[in-house]
Structure 1
Amino acid sequence: MGLHKIIKILALILSVVGIIFFVMILSAGDAAIEAGESAGSVNGALYTSYIILGLVLAFVLVFVLKGVFAGDIKKTLITVGAFLAIAIIGYVMSSGSLEGLPEELIITENVTETTSKWVGAGLNTFYILGVLAIGAMILSGLKRVTK
């Protein structure tokens, strides 16, 4: 049996389990969930999600590494380097300022300037990558139109 069939069967099984827990949660109602009476179905749904997330990450890692070693390693390293450069630019652009945050958030969540800087770096990196993706789509559309 091929890997594709195994993945499809595993996805089907996990989907059915997720649907079962979803129905159990819906049938319990909000009051039962808030009271903690249906913790088993909520926990089951969470564990199912954790399993799915773990499997997805494992498969992505395996197939990415497989693709890296099968393809051109130079292009892969250039792409990874470009991503790291964008992440560094995002980090440098972030301020790390706590100004504007509610005082209770700073105290209860233990938000420091370092935490704020890393969150800002992640947001800046996301924005830069988003702008680059939109620009690439526009350029490819323009090239297609001009041909």
Structure 2
Amino acid sequence: MNLYKIIKIIAYALGIIGAIFVLMIMSSGSESMIDNILFVTYAVLALVLVLVLIYVLKGLFTGNIKKTLVTVGIFLAIVFVSYAMSSGADLDLKPFTDKGQDITEATSKKVGAGLYTFYVLAFLAIASMAFSGVKKIFK
């Protein structure tokens, strides 16, 4: 039995268990069953993360490792430049701290860096799709 069939069987089993928990929650009206569904959610998340890690490492060592490392390096460079561009002082933090929220300039800088990273990666994704489409049209 190959790994795909095993994962497919596990996915069906977890789907059935999840459906049973949802029916139990809806029929009982009790919110104590929510803990059970969260447990299943955490188990599925852990399983997915482990399988993704396995497949990434498997693909990394069977493919072109130099190309993969260059891509990861470019991604980290984008994150670093985005963090350097973010000032952290773009937002007036006084209304947030008056309400008791723990938002500092460091938190604001990280959020800004995440937004800049998202914008750059979204632009690159759209540009690569457009370039691919234009290249396909001219062929």
Say yes or no: TM over 0.5.
Answer: yes
TM-score when normalising by structure 2: 0.89
Q: Deviations over 1:103-127 (max 9, x none)?
A: 2466533111111111111121111
Aligned equivalents of 1:126, 1:85: Cα separation in 2 = 13
Counterpart mapping for 1:1-147 below 5 A? 1-28=1-28, 32=29, 37-39=30-32, 41-97=33-89, 99-101=91-93, 103-104=95-96, 107-147=99-139
CA drift at 1:17: 1.3
CA drift at 1:100: 4.1
CA contact (8 A) 1:106 1:112 kept: no
CA contact (8 A) 2:93 2:103 kept: no
TM-score when normalising by structure 1: 0.85
Query: What SS does the aligned partner of 1:97 have?
Result: coil
Q: CA RMSD in A?
A: 1.9
Give the number of aligned pairs: 139
Instruction: Work out the percentage of aligned pairs sharing the same amino acid.
Output: 50
CA contact (8 A) 1:96 1:117 kept: yes
CA drift at 1:93: 1.8
Structure 2 gaps of 5+ residues are none
User: Measured at CA, do residues 17 and 145 of structure 1 come closer, stay the same or move farther in structure 2, by a change above 3 Å?
Assistant: same
Aligned equivalents of 2:125, 2:27: Cα separation in 1 = 42
CA contact (8 A) 1:90 1:124 kept: yes
